[in-house]
């Protein structure tokens, strides 16, 4: 079984379509939340994922788009983009986002947006936090997003390691005693200095995970954001991947 794992699409249809074309034929699409927010095409992104049969979890921007108080914690630019998103999204998009759970289990994996201990808000960036979160899941491995940075944490016995995977990096899923937390990075707004859309492929037959990147038409998205009146900095950061 070959699974595309994506996160933090943030209403960026150009980036999502580039990823879906790049991964080719897959058996499933798992998403890790923040489908909307920041970008110019929330309805189209949700429609694309729904049509593809994608399954996944809810992020803080998804909850905010449906009227949640998460918006109260956003900075000024994120809040302005979310207020725009709330004005333009369709009832069917709200219904689809509202139905997403905060956490779900699939095969050997626990799926969350932030972390298993705090599915909506925690940013998993340290080995200490990763150790606590691996202890909090009953599945072998976990998948999370939210940071917009590709990352892997590996627990081998008592030893905790962190890997910043480059494009094409492969990690084995069945190493004796190893448990993993894997972050695919962001499709729609990467923040690791690489503006290309980021994703993860799980090959459950070969028992490995591999990160991928793909370029997309960033200027077209920036033009859409300017036309919609979305904050300038949110469009500019797409060019630099931060």
Boundaries of domain holding 12: 2-240
Domain count along the chain: 1
- Per-10-residue mean pLDDT, the chain, length 242: 97 98 97 98 98 98 97 96 98 98 96 97 95 95 97 90 89 79 98 97 92 98 97 94 89
CATH number at residue 89: 3.60.21.10
Write down the pLDDT at residue 175: 60
- Reading the block at residue 32, the tokens are 């890790």
Write down the pLDDT at residue 177: 66
Write down the pLDDT at residue 101: 98
Write down the pLDDT at residue 173: 86
pTM for this model (two decimals)? 0.95
């Amino acid at each position: 079984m070959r699974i595309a794992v994506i996160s933090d699409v943030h209403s960026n249809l150009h980036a999502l379509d580039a990823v879906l074309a790049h991964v080719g034929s897959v058996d499933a699409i798992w998403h890790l939340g923040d489908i909307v927010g920041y970008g110019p095409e929330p309805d189209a992104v949700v429609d694309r994922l729904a049509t593809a049969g994608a399954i996944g979890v809810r992020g803080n921007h998804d909850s905010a788009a449906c009227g949640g108080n998460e918006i109260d914690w956003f900075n000024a630019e994120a809040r302005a983009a979310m207020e725009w998103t709330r004005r333009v999204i369709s009832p069917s998009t709200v219904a689809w986002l509202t139905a997403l759970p905060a956490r779900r289990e699939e095969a050997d994996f626990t799926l969350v947006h932030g972390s298993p201990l705090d599915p909506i808000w925690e940013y998993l960036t340290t080995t200490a936090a990763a150790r606590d979160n691996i202890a909090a899941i009953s599945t072998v491995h976990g998948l999370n997003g939210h940071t917009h940075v590709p990352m892997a944490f590996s627990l081998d016995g008592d030893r905790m390691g962190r890997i910043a995977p480059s494009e094409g990096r492969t990690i084995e899923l069945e190493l004796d005693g190893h448990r993993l937390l894997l972050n695919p990075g962001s499709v729609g707004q990467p923040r690791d200095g690489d503006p290309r859309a980021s994703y993860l492929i799980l090959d459950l037959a070969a028992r490995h995970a591999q990160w991928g990147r793909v370029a997309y038409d960033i200027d077209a998205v920036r033009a859409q954001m300017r036309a919609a009146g979305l904050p300038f900095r949110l469009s500019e950061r797409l060019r630099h991947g931060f």
